[in-house]
Structure 1
Amino acid sequence: MVGSLSHRIVLLCAALAGLIVILAGALLTVTVQMHNDLGWLDHSSRVLRTANHALGSLRVAESGQRGFTLTHNPDFARAVGPALAAARRDSAELVTLTTDNGEQNERARQLQVLVNGRADTLEATANLARRGAFDQARQATAAGRGLELMQLVDAKVNDLLLDERALAGDRMAAVEQLLRVTRWLVILGTPLTLLMLALVARSLILRIRRPVGAMLAVMGDLGAGQRHARISGEMGSREFERLASGYNAMADELQRAVANQAEAAENLRAANAALSHNADTLRERGEVIEILGGMAHRMQAARTDDELAAIIRVFVPRVLPQIPGALFVHNNSRNLLVPTATWGGLESEQTGFAPEECWALRRGQSHYVDEPGSDIVCPHVGAGADHYHCEPLLAGGEVIGVLYLKGTIGTENRFRLAVLSENIASALVNHRLQRGLREQTIRDPLTGLFNRRYLEETLALEMARASRSGAPLTVVMCDIDHFKRFNDEFGHDAGDQVLQTVAAELRRRFRDGDVVCRFGGEEFVVIAPATDANVLSARVEEVRQAISLLTVRQGERALGSVTMSFGLATWAPGMDREGIALLKAADAALYAAKRDGRNRLVIDPQALAA
């Protein structure tokens, strides 16, 4: 320590004469001056460290503000406030530290103004981003005012650091000069004094060389890129201990600044990666929406259930690739979910299942099993299912259907499934409405049979089909005998009841492939494809007899029995394609049945000849 070295010198001077005292006084003066110079050297170190810390804090705040503005991640914003406070505090401390140097103090005051100005701009931009005004924050950042302030701060800090390093160099040179004076005093003393002072000088040199060597070695390691290099061990003096401590603190600050810069760069890289991932996700979702748009357009244009099923089978595997599944549509009359379309090799029972057998329909939300035992298995799936997904299709609280998928739906596929379900549910509702409207346009509202418009369309279609295939086509025209009697005796409501009863019997007696229509008034027409008059006459006779056995009732009132007359005609190649001649032939046969006494069937002679 310096104190023990001085004590040795005092002992030597006391033993020696006045020269030793003078020499000791000189050495003491030199030591005091050296102590002062070392103190100023430490002061310069504090100024350098504080200036660097202020600049580093300002850069950390700037990096956090830019990261928050670009990524909207609040984690970036948390570093802005503390860093700005540290920058303001360090700039104020610089003003205090440089009060001994007017020129440096003026620079410190100017630096404080610049730091506070840059801190105010960063704080204002960060506040805009915290309020959600990210566009304004980016515009404020792009305006360039912050860059100009940072350039001024950098320039002012560099000027201050250059002058402070020059002062530190002068002070170190003064210390070295004092060391040389001390050395000469020792050399020019008496031989004994020289010997004693040589021992003292040797001890002093060793005490200085070791910590200085250690410091130079650490500085060399730091310059070589070893940022973790620090001064350790005993320095031999308070001054060197403080110098080593100050150096270690400065190195720590430098390491933290580099780490913060690296962290900021990593955060920016992560933000860029996140933005790139989001862009890819948006692109994929855009492609899915485009596919769904094409599917929606086609489903809106579908006219039959088979067309709708074909569209589902083509587009759903494109939206949810490699996931087999099936679409079940609710049949209101049977209260069953019946399979409409399957894809991906999945096979489904054609009988369907009741709505209560699906937990998705019970709960009105998605129901899935990711692994065995993770949730309740729907009865319609079967107890052995270990991973599947049921998505309910609802509209206005009404069950439309359910989308069954055999597999696990990942996070990204959940978006696809949600949009897909909405499109399919909307298409099913639209398809149901279109079918209902079509039924209204082709059905007779009183009897529920097909109307004359549908008759004309179907007859033209069946005649074209018969002309191509050569298959027979027979038309039955019939009407209720003495129908006017019911209207006259019982009223028009009774007549409507007779029409409804007869229509129901006709619909029940004829086969599914036959088209039963109300031609108008009490007249009905039946189109029987692939059947000639001779074969059809037996069935018509059964229908005639069944109707003659009916007793029509209106509430508690019996309206009496009903009979019908029938005329049959078969299409021939020479007839027109619109069916006018065929209907006329059937009507002529009906007229003959009426003329011959009613309640009978007559076959067109041309059909008999064929």
Structure 2
Amino acid sequence: MRNIGIRQLALALTVMTVLPLMAVLGWSVITTGRLDQQRVGEQFSVTTHTAAQELRQRIDAARQLIAAMAAGGVPGMNDPDCDARFAQLVHLRPIYNNMFVTDLSGRIVCSARPIPAADGQPVSLGARPYFAAGMRATDPLVAGWLPGLANGRPILPVVMPVRDAQGRPVAMVGASIDLLAFVQGIRAELPADTGVTLWSPEGALVTHAGPLPPPDPNGTEPHPPTGAGGALPAFDTGFAIPILSLPAVQDLPERVMMLETVSFGDEALTLGISMDEARLFGPVRALMSSNFVLALWLAAGLVILSMAVMRMALVRPLGRLSRYAKAMARGEAPRHVPDVSKVREISDLASTLDALFADLAERETQRNRAEEALQRALAGMERTVAARTAELADAHEAARLRARDLERGRNRERIAGRMTDLIQSCASVDEAMDVLARMMPSLSNGDRGRAFLHRPGQAALEPAALWGKPLLPGHSITEDDCWSLRLGHAHVSRAEGTMPICRHLDGVPGRHLCVPLIAHGEILGMITLERDAVDDRSDWAEDEIAALDRVALSIANVKLRETLRGMTIRDPLTGLYNRRFADETLAREVAEARRDGRPLAAVMADIDHFKRFNDAHGHEAGDRVLRMTARVMADHFRRSDMVCRYGGEEFLILMPGATAADAVARADAFRRALAGTVEDGGDAALGPVTISLGVAVFPETVNEDARLIAAADAALYVAKHAGRNRVMLDGQVQPADMLTG
């Protein structure tokens, strides 16, 4: 807008003023034309609907006429003037092509128009498709269109049977509506170039009246929607279908056609009225064009008038004032501004221009001073805002970190509590290690790690569980290898720190936390966590170590409980289960065998001549024999079998799922292995040692589960009296090893 002159501005203002007016005028002209076209189309639609209604009325009138004739009896059966009276009635009502009466066979006995006989045979309507249905009808039947027999013109038959007093049909009376006469009558009331056409539901031409050949509604585009088989749909509500610009046939002018379907019973006809598009919409379009041209002339006149007024009152005075102001700015003109216009506003502008130039220099100076002061103030405010923003950001970050740490702490407490509950519920340390491996990633916030435990009979700590992919190798460590085991509390090892690094972590990158597992002053194991050296997290916080201490204490409790339970169910000399555990387990195994329908074998074993051996070699040698026998038993029976020291030199083996043959075979294999075992140690070698065994199987040899141990003991008694060093099956009279080959 900087380089636009006053002339261009005046022109732009004029155009901006006139253009909306032109748009309104154009929109009004176009809208009025469209409304006129819509009104003409609606009138044309009403014409089509009126014609369709007239056809419906003709059909209803024919039905009423036929019903009245049928109710009046059988006309014309014996009346020689019947044909003349029917002909006079058809003459008075040209819409009817014919009226007729037939007998029960369909032979015409009376008609308004003579119907020529074919091959000398009497004319009969019995072959017509509507005859049989018409004879059964109780109301006037309107059949589909047919060519008339009298003159071949398309007709619409309306028939009804004539019944006697007993209600039996004796004849048929009917009238045929002349469809050609109907369309000609409709066309006579319309302009000369109007076409009226009737089609069947299948789209076949029935009749046509008009100056042009009948158009095919199914053969051009656009066309009305069709039903199955290409048939035009029947609109029972009399809805008219407008089709604009539908060519009647090739090389004919464009025409507008309106369609409406007339339904009567199961039949229907489609009525179409077509008219030349130029004749229908031409006057409306001509009026719209003339209105549009008039609007253009009016807009052009307004533009010219506006430009002239603005030039005289605005453009010239402002141009002179602009030139004088430029000269004053260059110092080429005096301070006095001459009178350039009689317009009050422009004159006031010229009179105030002097004061404006006078104040301009002073205002410029004040503005520069104010801008300098404002810049200084803004710079100070920016520094203050930046400092406060940094403080707020630091405070927000600190609050976020505190909230995160608090949430992590609460979550860690929940996980630690859950882990403690689960570990306290474990039946063994191995089960507790499985819980530890599954839940430590959640508790340690993604840290890797391993757990080490003291195993019975071992001095070193062995790997028992791991989570993640720890870099620490899974080898054994001693108590001296870890500072946490020496100190009795958690210890953090890192390469860059001042604290010593555990020996078992030499060469392992990253930071490590070791937490000991201690119960009653006894070291039971240790947990190690790993973090990468590049991890942005700090070392483990006190609450994290406290949570690990809780878990470590729960594992120590499980270990202690397992140790105490082992002391109550294990024989201290042989390490086998004791009789108390055997009695507890027997009831459970018998119940499971009865529930699952599987066998349960019991083997009672007794070392041969143990008392003699004990008396000859002493109690220490006897204890060695018992330990050797227990070791051989542990090697030859399954892990699922329960081996117990039942008392003295007696042993009990429970074998779930073993049949009699399986139990005898395993017992005999153990007997042979023990007889071939010689142990060196002490003052003299021990061996060979023989043993006698009795086998009973529920429910194979014993039906009552309460007698299982007694039956096995009885079989052992038989083995002893049969010569010892053998296996006897309950109920057998010879050694079981002989039975098994």
TM range (shorter): 0.3 to 0.5
TM-score (norm 2): 0.40
TM-score (norm 1): 0.47
Larger radius of gyration: 2
Structure with bigger RCO (C-alpha 8 Å, 6+ apart): 1
Q: Which has the higher strand share?
A: 2
